[in-house]
Structure 1
Amino acid sequence: MTPEVTVVVVTHNGPEWVERCLQALLVDARPAVRTEVVVVDSASDAPTREVLARWAARALGELRVELAEENIGFARGCNLGAALGTGRRVLLLNPDAVVQVGAVDALVAALDADPAAGVMGGRTVRPDGRLDPSSCWGAPSLWSWLCFATGLSAAFKGSRVFDPESLGGWQRDTYRHVPVVTGCLLMTTRETWDRLAGLDTDYFMYGEDADLSLRAAELGLHPAITPDAVAVHAVGASSSRKAHKVRLLMTGKATLARKRWPAWKARAGVGLLLAGAALRAAGERVRASGDPVWRPLVADRSWTAGWTGTPAPVPASR
């Protein structure tokens, strides 16, 4: 029988969260709809692969594990996982996201009720129960990046005017169409996935979900968020890990600008990103930060070329 949902999880280390993710999907918050889980492991170390082997043996065919011998990145991993599955819908799920009871079924119901959405996300919360707003964002624009460059988005965090990508103070607690659904919790129909040809693999990691949502909108679809689908999403790490993540995020943003915007607009946009990084780097110098996040981005600007210019091997865990 064809599964209703193929859940795709791309892993790269982090065995503790991989354990929690699979425990929720296959046991604690097991969906009522028929579901298959496909894990694409992107060259994890032994502890993570041991977790996956144990779950594959325990799940008795409900879980398929595909082992890549190199870090193939998030976009390629998701596309491979979706291709290996046969479900009528594809759900992208971060390995550090733990779905709550009814979350997968709620995504199915919302997508069925609003087929024009095409792409459906949910509400993510942090382990302490606070809102994690990163399940969706506003569309990137020169204005939003100008606000980043000038520090307005930091000074007026959550402002609809000066921090527009944050979508204001909305708590993701009502149904709403949004410009960008993020790949930590994203469902689409198989038909829509195929029409979009999956994620753009020019993005190694970050930016590919925004690209997917924007391409869906170009097809006349209206990505949306349902508050009934809740997942706990791990947020927070050491400052050194934060520096690495910020580099990945900025590389993804630069890639999106260079791929989707006219050349003049892309140059302006990347310039604004660099200006924003420089502003924050200056703040780190004033504070004499011993473990800087932004200064390395100003010193090494290779990220401004985007992923197509800097295909560096980096972790696939988002």
Structure 2
Amino acid sequence: MTQTPASTTGAPASPDLSIIMVSYNTATITIAALQSVFDTGTGVSFELLLCDNNSPDGSADQIKAKFADQLGKRLHVFASDENLGFARANNLMAERARGRRILLLNPDTILLPGALQSLLTFAERTPEARIWGGRTYDGERRLDPSSIWARMSVWSVFCYGFGLQKLFPHSALFNSEAYGGFDRQSEREVDIVSGCYLLIDADLWRKLGGFDRRFYMYAEEADLCLRARAFGARPRFTPTSEIVHFGGASEQVYSGKMVKLFAGKMTLAEKHWPAWQLSLARIAMRIAVWLRATGVPVLGALTGRERWKRAGDEWRIVWQRRKDWMDGYPDPS
């Protein structure tokens, strides 16, 4: 891994906040995300630590060229010679972080005015939480509820398997993981804050050892938040800190994303569930994917819609690759 030459000129001596970003093949949107930090971070003492996971589009060089005046000051770019995955790359950046708090920020985000200051103010007001998150919108500026989650359960996996969360999206019973029925208009304690916009006390991060690097991508923040409870953390959400999260920019193939997502979920279940619950989760997840792999193509044939036909092809691939996700991610050692 190569590091941009450092310079202390203009750099905060000891920043309050270390912002960590991991990018892969998303030069244009990563530059926009970084620019939004500089544009809206007035009054916040921060450093930006960006790890580029060996992007073939030359992201690291483009970012360095765009923000040449910030290199070694508030921005530090690390170009990896391999794709480390999300968890490992964040851990490496966190080792270099000097701030009292660490903010994980996705490269496919845009900070809205006042977001950083609002989140930090919220953290100062609720220090017992130790992990904090805000409200996200999608690219059309519609509410995106995925910035927070409830912990996965056998019941929530069952509801996903049989599509109950799609049939009743606003139900706290049938869509429990997504906090169905919660309108994201008020503060509350939550189980999980999404890693796209997650603020954490730096000392807590270090006590936890950061992300479990077995999680190559997806569910690593769920594992982090669940483990943090053993140290007294009670993650909280505030609607006053807002960002735009475009989502999935570095994962263009739907089947590839779902394989990683299911692998992350099964890894999470293996770590935190007893054996009997894990067995039920595997059965429910197999049923979920099989139903989609067989049902969606039929829907595509009946409707003639290309969208459903393409989705059917993707779900077939996810089913064919079930050995890649059924037992979770392999032990990295």
- Percent identity, please: 37
- Structure 1 residue 51, shift from structure 2 partner: 2.3
Distance 2:115 2:213 in 1: 28
Q: CA contact under 8 A between 1:239 and 1:293: conserved in structure 2?
A: no
2:52 is matched with 41
Partner amino acid, structure 2, of 1:307:
Y
User: Residues of 2 paired with 1:129 and 1:227: CA distance?
Assistant: 14
With 216-225 and 83-92 compared, the bigger mean Cα shift is at 216-225
* Structure of greater relative contact order (alpha carbons < 8 Å, 6+ residues apart): 1
Q: Does the C-alpha gap of structure 1 residues 147 and 112 become closer, same or farther in structure 2, counting only changes over 3 Å?
A: same
Conserved 8 A contact 1:90-1:188: yes
The alpha carbon displacement at 1:239 in A equals: 11
User: Is residue 41–residue 67 contact of structure 1 (8 Å, CA) maintained in 2?
Assistant: yes
Equivalent pairs counted in the alignment come to 309
CA distance in 2, matches of 1:36, 1:244: 33
Residue of structure 2 aligned with 1:50, choices 61, 77, 82: 61
Structure 2 counterparts to residues 121-160 of structure 1, below 5 A: 121-160=133-172
1:50-79 deviation digits (Å, cap 9, x = unpaired): 322124422141100111111001111111
Out of 321, 325, 331, the residue aligned to residue 300 of structure 1 is 321
**Unaligned runs of at least 5 residues, structure 1:** 312-318
Tell me, yes or no, if structure 1 residue 286 matches structure 2 residue 287.
Answer: no
Alpha carbons 1:181, 1:210 under 8 Å: kept: yes
The Cα RMSD (Å) is 1.8
Distance 1:240 1:127, change over 3 A: closer
More off after superposition, 102-111 vs 35-44: 102-111
Which residue matches 1:32?
43
> Using the alignment, how far apart are the partners of 2:79 and 2:248 within structure 1?
27
Which one-letter code corresponds to 1:306 in the other structure? Answer: G
Q: For each residue in 1:190-216, what CA deviation from the matched residue of structure 2 results, as whole angstroms up to 9, or x when unmatched?
A: 111112111111100101000011111
Distance, in Å, in 2 between the alignment partners of 1:266 and 1:211 is 15
Deviation string, structure 1 residues 164-204 (Cα, Å, up to 9, x no partner): 11101323221111111010000011111112111111100
Is the deviation greater in 284-293 or in 152-161?
Answer: 284-293
Q: Structure 1 residue 212 and structure 2 residue 212: aligned?
A: no
Tell me which residue corresponds to 1:233: 245
Distance 1:73 1:195 in 2: 21
Report the secondary structure of 1:305's partner residue: coil
What's the offset of the Cα at 1:282?
2.0
What is the TM-score when the length of structure 1 is the normalising length?
A: 0.92
Which of 126, 143, 164 in structure 2 is aligned with 1:114? Answer: 126
Which secondary structure does the structure 2 equivalent of 1:115 belong to?
coil
Query: Residues 259 and 321 of structure 2 are in contact (CA less than 8 Å); yes or no, is this contact kept in structure 1?
Result: no
Q: After TM superposition, which residue ranges in structure 1, 4 or more long, deviate above 6 angstroms?
A: 236-240
Give, in whole Å, the separation in 2 of the partners of 1:220 and 1:189: 12
Over 3 Å counting, the alpha-carbon distance change for 1:90 and 1:236 in structure 2 is closer
| Structure 1 residue 47, shift from structure 2 partner | 3.6
Q: Which amino acid is 1:34 matched to?
A: S
Aligned equivalent of 1:260: 272
Counterpart contact for 1:55–1:63, Cα < 8 Å: no
